[in-house]
Structure 1
Amino acid sequence: MRYYYSADTLFVRGSFRAASTGVNGGLGTVSTLLNHTVPEHFGHADPSRHLREITDAAGMGEDAFGLLTAVPMRHLCILQYDFITVFVTAGVTNPNPDPAVPHTINIIVTSREGFSDAALLGAIITVTEAKTRALRDLGRTFTGTTTDAVIAASEGEVVHEYAGPLTAAGMRIYAAVLRGVAAALDRQEGRVEDTGPSYFIFSRYNGDHWVEWQPEGCPYYPCHFPGQVCDFCYCPYYPCRDGDLGHWVESSSGGQVWSCSRCTLLHIPEVADYYKQNPEASLDELKKLRATLDTKRSGA
């Protein structure tokens, strides 16, 4: 799985088995998941056609599940909890049944460990329970808006048969959605200032807690080399499983996590610029670019 975003669209790319409650949803095998911002008074007569126009313009096929929102992508929250990654946009100016105001809570859950179809559907239930809890904790009297939607997707052989909140997958989904809905509403409603998507990682260092990564005033800069670019400190390829770039390490809570602490690939300014211009670039393509740059520098 990998993801990237423009000013108005989040693209999540991979080889997914997925369940969606959004436009043209259902159960299926898809290569693209997206969340797209529409104008506040969106009046397109055919939302499914609108989504196809977006994927066509991006050079992607029709095997996609998509969601629509009036929330700008700069308020997107991305949360990583082990093998689970959750993407949340949230606006709740529309708790009442007024379709003319399309603010929405959209949630995409991805897993790098495979889910059965039952687990995908169970994940949607778990997401809904966590979203409801988040709204209650914020003092809201409603459980969602009239246009909320969820996509649950996974890659690989089935590892998880169920995804209720007490399962290994479900408890991670629940925690990420609970944190993500609150964080997304803080940004949409102006309690937290942002200029782009926010990133949260579940850390077990010094006790379990969520950590928000922020490039401004990072106490570790430069963690790799002077002049590095930090736009992709939260790597869109993670976990890449490329032995040239990282390795598996033992987690303090058991199991293994992918460590890329020594990877500098996307911190190289020329490589970061190339990726921004070519978000579909493969890791091999970026590694070849780095090798070319190294050759030029060594010959200078």
Structure 2
Amino acid sequence: MLEELTAFNANVPIKGIRFYLAEENTFLIVSLRELKVFSSAVMGGKQRRVKFILHHTVGKNYNSDNPAEDLARLAKKMNLGEQVLGLMTAVDVRHTVMSFDTKKGLAVASLCAVGMNNACSIGDIAAHTSMVAPGTISIVVLIDGNMSRVAMVNALITAAEAKTMAVLQSGIRLPDGAPATGTTNDVIVIACTGRGKPYPHAGAATDLGCLIGRTVCRSVTQGINDNVTAIGVDGPLKPAGVVLPN
């Protein structure tokens, strides 16, 4: 049974996009028209065009040899067909946060669910072996515009940079003192409606890149604050840093 997420639907006025919650553990984005996508999604990462993006919460002890197959079974159960991307997280997807912004006719919404238990510092192998609790930063960027393939690659890079900036600005550090830059299994989905004039680029110097960076940074920052509060680190995040427990 699908529950309409009225707050998301009211605050993301992108024509043809709707948001739902299924069985309290699956966040579903539905598009009436095909979305052009570029992603690192667990299921359907090779897809170029989809109508559904699902984000499913699994238990913190979840351990599967093939998460993509598990998500495919869920998509089949939900009768979503083949045009679907699937993401998976140990974070409660009911805590998904969103940032929406517009500029010169462009509209961008960034949605994310953040779990920092599995934080890492990029390039630090020790962080990968010591931080084993489930956690991820899952980001979906919805763009009401027509993007070239190059622009979609630009957009993913811009979103990744914005995510990293938000994590660094949060001040979170690993037990060895290294600054966190993300988690060991972050995922980003770039999806655009294909409407309007073509956008050849989406780097930081473009209006589109500016909107992507701004909305991703806002949503990830809010998600981090919500998650750090939930996992029991006392007080707000401070520039001096919050050390996550082992």
Task: Compute the TM-score of the two structures, normalised by the length of structure 1.
Answer: 0.60
Residue of structure 1 equivalent to 2:188: 150
Residue of structure 1 equivalent to 2:69: 49
Contact 1:77 1:184 in 2 (8 A): yes
Task: Tell me the amino acid that sits aligned with residue 5 of structure 1.
Answer: L
Displacement, 1:74? 2.3
Out of 174, 177, 185, the residue aligned to residue 213 of structure 2 is 174
Distance 1:127 1:74 in 2: 22
Residues 84-107 of structure 1, C-alpha deviation per residue, up to 9 Å, x if partnerless? 111111111112325853300000
Displacement, 1:19? 0.5
Distance 1:35 1:80 in 2: 19
Give the number of the structure with larger relative contact order, counting CA–CA contacts within 8 Å between residues 6 or more apart: 2
Root-mean-square deviation (CA, aligned residues, Å) is: 1.9
Residue of structure 2 equivalent to 1:85: 109
Residue of structure 1 equivalent to 2:133: 101
Distance 1:26 1:164 in 2: 23
Displacement, 1:47? 0.9
Displacement, 1:139? 0.9
Tell me, yes or no, if structure 1 residue 5 matches structure 2 residue 36. Answer: no
Displacement, 1:27? 5.0
Distance 2:50 2:147 in 1: 14
> SS of the residue aligned with 1:56?
helix
Task: Trace 1:112-191 onto structure 2 (pairs within 5 A).
Answer: 112-140=144-172, 141-157=179-195, 159-190=198-229
> SS of the residue aligned with 1:50?
helix
Out of 29, 36, 39, the residue aligned to residue 20 of structure 1 is 39
Displacement, 1:156? 2.2
Aligned length: 192
Tell me, yes or no, if structure 1 residue 34 matches structure 2 residue 54. Answer: yes
Residue of structure 2 equivalent to 1:59: 79
Distance 1:118 1:104 in 2: 26
Q: Percent identity?
A: 29
Change (3 A) 1:101 1:62: farther
Task: Compute the TM-score of the two structures, normalised by the length of structure 2.
Answer: 0.73
Distance 2:199 2:49 in 1: 17
Contact 1:84 1:172 in 2 (8 A): yes
Displacement, 1:132? 0.9
Contact 2:36 2:191 in 1 (8 A): yes
Displacement, 1:159? 2.5
Change (3 A) 1:27 1:123: farther
Shift >3 Å, 4+ stretches: none
Contact 1:41 1:100 in 2 (8 A): no
Distance 1:189 1:143 in 2: 15
Displacement, 1:134? 0.6
Displacement, 1:191? 6.7
Distance 1:85 1:106 in 2: 14
Task: Tell me the amino acid that sits aligned with residue 117 of structure 2.
Answer: T
Task: Tell me the amino acid that sits aligned with residue 51 of structure 1.
Answer: L
Contact 2:170 2:224 in 1 (8 A): no
Contact 2:112 2:219 in 1 (8 A): yes
Change (3 A) 1:42 1:100: farther
Contact 2:41 2:187 in 1 (8 A): yes
Say which one has the larger Rg: 1
Task: Trace 1:250-269 onto structure 2 (pairs within 5 A).
Answer: none
Task: Tell me the amino acid that sits aligned with residue 131 of structure 1.
Answer: K
Q: Unaligned stretches of 5+ in structure 2?
A: 1-16, 120-126, 173-178, 232-246
> SS of the residue aligned with 1:190?
helix
